[in-house]
Amino acid sequence: MGWEDRLVVWGLAIQLVIWGWGGAPVVEAQGYWETVVNNAGISTMHSAVAHDGNVVLLDRTNVGPSQLKLAPDNCRDNLADRSLKHDCTAHSALFSPNSNKVRPLKVITDTWCSSGQFDGSGKLVQTGGDADGVKKIRHFTPCGKGACDWVELNGGLQEGRWYASNQILPDGTQIVVGGRGVATLEYVPANGRGTYYLPLLSKSNDAQMDNLYPFVHLLPNNQLYIFANRDSCLYDWKTNKVARDYPTMPGEPRNYPSAGSSVMLPLSASNDFGNAEVLICGGAQYGAYLNPAGQPASQSCGRITPLAAGAGWVMENMPQRRLMGDMILLPTRDVLIINGAGGGAQGWGNAVNPVKTPVLYKPNNAAGARFQTLTASPVPRVYHSTANLLPDGRILVAGSNTHQFYTLTGYLPTELRIEAFSPPYLASNRPTFTAAPGGLKHGAGFTATVKVDNAKHIELNMASAPLVTHSFAQGQRLLQLQVGAPIAAGGGKFRVDSKAPPTSAVAPAGYYMLFPLVDGIVGSASWVRIG
């Protein structure tokens, strides 16, 4: 193995000195990168972290053979496959961050540009795709070190959904919104419900179809904020009616294929989890998809508070132009913007000027002081790349295939390496849980014990495990819990009394990563199940 394969970019040694008040230097580490798998065998288009600690990686079928073999007696036979009807290679895999091992999984129908999310039991519900997968529903139930695999259901979606978005709801079902040529939404499981027309999806459509993979966020008032292209609405999923429309966001189109990204900023017990803000960053010039010529990407971000009277957009600029970036909520309650390109649009061969430098966005800082540039990756990640928060606090980065098929040479080749980025908060003296709850009930108190050399301030923050695809982490949310003052318990341990989120609108039932945060340093998470 050559030095390039073992490349570790030690950004902790590359530090930015910022002169503070009185001329005193303040040194901020910028994080570091490591390649954890040199060849995963597949290029990851969708990814999700399961509560057993493993990461589900998923590409598409109809792409010919991958470089990850299935067992000889477990080949994939599908007469509807456009490329390889008898296929003994995998198009999905399970990655273990503890061992850096990859296990092949068998998926039958085409998952190209599909959607999904974990349900309340921790099962990954995966919906739609292309060709024979357009109406499919698939399940993956995590099983630790077992031999679990994909199960494709006999029943399916009511409408074909290619480029749709999913969001788990307080009642435990998932809403599936949009898709190519589809202006409706539906529910999984349907439980007797049909499909419902969403006017926003017609209003936001254009010649490029910039309303694909709409941004869907569950607000703490039990309604949905749905954004497509540059427009958005408040949707009451109980009555299936639009409750409110919002002003058009300034700037460029923001959804696929123009490919901005969006998060709902962390909710906090300090204001009863009520101050929901949505952040949208990046996008592409209109026409960049129809006439690929490398037009510069958007540089702007916008914030809106959907439940506020007179809600409108507050705009600011990122340090770089970026489309196809992934926005990840961090345990520190900051946002990481990672991956992407400086120009073009999503689609085969449309990306130019890869942006290898992640950016930290600090939403609680004053405007003009929210962005911090971090250490650049050696690997460009553009179309069909992903980024996921791991329980140990690292960011797992995979994928990037800007071609119709696997193309391992030339400009922006299909990327089979998996990297991990360690943000600056992973310093020495990391706190650890010596006691943490395995289960939570909404609104109920609990106690956790954290071990650390010294503790002035301890936070307990809950992060969901979303499905990430096409620059949007479906179902992503982060919750800062109510905590009391840490109580010294001897032996470097501190007891923290806390309280679970109050309702399933704030925290839908399911598994979350519970992170200890002590004086800005993040410890490894403990998985908790609420509901």
- Asked if 514 and 524 count as a contact pair (C-beta separation under 8 A), the reply is no
pLDDT digits (tens, 9 = 90+) for 62-74: 999 999 999 999 9
Cα distance between residue 290 and residue 456, in whole Å: 55
- Asked if 283 and 253 count as a contact pair (C-beta separation under 8 A), the reply is yes
pLDDT of residue 492: 92
Cα distance between residue 203 and residue 383, in whole Å: 26
**pLDDT-flagged residues of the chain (< 70):** 1-28
pTM: 0.94
pLDDT digits (tens, 9 = 90+) for 202-213: 999 999 999 999
pLDDT of residue 35: 98
The CA dihedral of 106, 107, 112, 118, to the nearest 10 degrees, is: -100
pLDDT of residue 456: 85
pLDDT of residue 454: 84
pLDDT of residue 7: 36
CATH number of 8-422: 2.130.10.80
**Yes or no: domain 432-530 corresponds to CATH 2.160.10.10:** no
pLDDT of residue 11: 40
pLDDT of residue 293: 87
Cα distance between residue 318 and residue 315, in whole Å: 10
Domain boundaries, the chain: 8-422, 432-530
Residue with tokens 């969708």: 46
- Asked if 245 and 235 count as a contact pair (C-beta separation under 8 A), the reply is no
Per-residue burial over 255-274, b if 16 or more Cβ lie within 10 Å, else e, is bbbbbbbbbbbbbbbeeebe
DSSP states of 141-205: ---TTS----EE-SS--SS--SS-EEEE-TTS-EEEE--TT--EEEEES-TT---EE-HHHHHT-
